[in-house]
Amino acid sequence: MIKNVIISFINAYFALMDLQRIKSFLALSEQLHYWKTAEKVNITQSALSRQIQSLENELGVQLFERNKRNVKLTRAGKFLKEKWEVELNELEYIHQFAKQIHLGERGTITIAHPDSISASIMPDMLAKITQAFPQLQMKLVQVLYENQLEFLKNYKIDLVITRDLNSEPGIRAKKIYSDHLALVVPLTHPFKVFEDLSTENLKQQKFILPTKDEGSSYSEIIQALFKSYDFIPDVFLHSEFGSTIIALVRKGLGIAILPDSYMHHQSPGLRFIPLPFKTDLLINWRADDHNPVLANILKLVFED
């Protein structure tokens, strides 16, 4: 019966009493000496006595047996000491966790990015974030071009790195990097340097290209390349996935135009011929999102 009453006190103690009295009780239960405990918790001995007495009165339980020489825990006091130490440690952990969330040091952030930068700028960016916020969890996804802004607006992702300019209301974007396009050919292909390219020999090639998305500024850059040579390419296949395009080029099924950041992927058997066409990378986020995790990451990304 007494044990059940005490357990009910444990379940409700945070609502019934302040943490300071519990901390004072735990300190006294370790020291078993009022003067030493008062000094340790930085209060007067009389204030400590009042806290313990107030706690006992509120619980209706005697916590200590005391006389002029000795202070020792009662059975109920020993029980509460064991339980409260565990609960207090858990509560302090929860408080610390909440503080880290408030400061943007904990939580989860979902980042969508193109496959082309998986082995170039993404590892460096993630290493920088992880070093600054080791408790932060990150989720990396790849999202089809036509779904990127919808996913961002609907909180399915928190950041999206794109090669396309964005004019959507409520979405902010800022350039973080630029690379160039490259012609990707097998090592056995006769194209070796940029000067080997001409309208006539390009017309003879089969191309494997990224999916042509309406309104995509990245697609427009590729089309501008073909316009500069004044021809319409013979496109064998379109794919949303650069890694697939690279595998098909390696197989000899055609040649491709991709960002030169793919050179950082392990791509044996391929030659990347740099082209004089630049493609920007932009990071996009919700303008009205006040998530401190997001603010911390954006600050890190843009600080250089």
pLDDT at 285 over 50: yes
Contacts with 49 (C-beta within 8 Å, 6 or more apart), sequence order:
34
Q: Which pTM was predicted?
A: 0.67
What does R_g of the chain's alpha carbons equal in angstroms?
32
Contact 182, 255 (CB under 8 A): no
What pLDDT band is residue 13 in, cutting at 50, 70 and 90?
very low
Average pLDDT over residues 75-95: 82
Residue 122 has pLDDT above 50, yes or no: yes
Spatial CA neighbour of 140 closest among 162, 116, 118? 118
Six token digits for residue 12? 């409700």
Cα–Cα dist 148/82, whole Å: 52
**The predicted structure's pLDDT at residue 11:** 47
Q: Tell me the two tokens of residue 228.
A: 């500069």
Which domains, ranges and CATH numbers included, belong to the chain? 1-103 (1.10.10.10), 110-176+283-303 (3.40.190.10), 177-278 (3.40.190.10)
């409260």: which residue's tokens? 84
If one compares 35 and 1, the residue with the highest pLDDT of the two is: 35
pLDDT tens digits along 127-178? 998 998 888 888 999 888 888 889 999 989 999 999 888 888 899 999 999 9
Give me the chain's average pLDDT, please.
85
What does the pLDDT read at residue 175? 93
Q: Which residue has better confidence, 52 or 69? A: 52
Q: Is the pLDDT of residue 216 over 90?
A: no
